[in-house]
Amino acid sequence: MNGLPAGTRVWLAAGATDMRKGFDSLAAQAQTVLGQDPFSGHVFCFRGRRGDLVKLLWWDGDGLCLPSASSVADSSGRGRKRAWWC
C-alpha cells in the first residue's frame, strides 16, 4: 500500500455499515452521513456489524480505492489474524 500524502484526514463512520456496499454506495454514505467529499483524497473507514470486517475508501487521483480487511480465526480457533485484500 502506498503512503498517504501529508494532510490526509481519516474519517471513521460511527456505527455499523452494510458490508455488501461497494464504491458508489460507500461514497454516497461518506457524502450524506459524514458530510465530506469522497473525492477529496481523505480516507473513510467503515466497519461491519460484527466488527470483523473493515473497508477503507479513498480517492487516489485516478479512481476510488476500496481495500478491505477481515479478522479470521487461526487454525487453533483462539487467535485472530488480520488479512487485507483489494
HSE-up of residue 86 (Cα within 13 Å, Cβ side): 6
- How does pLDDT run across 37-84, given as a tens digit for each residue? 999 989 999 998 887 888 999 888 888 888 888 776 666 656 565 655
32 neighbors 14 (Cβ within 8 angstroms)? no
Q: Residue 51: left if φ>0, alpha if ψ -120 to 50, beta else—which one?
A: left
Q: Tell me how far apart the alpha carbons of residues 75 and 50 are, in angstroms, rounded to a whole number.
A: 20
d(CA 52, CA 36): 25
Whole-structure pTM value: 0.77
Three-state secondary-structure class, residue 43? strand
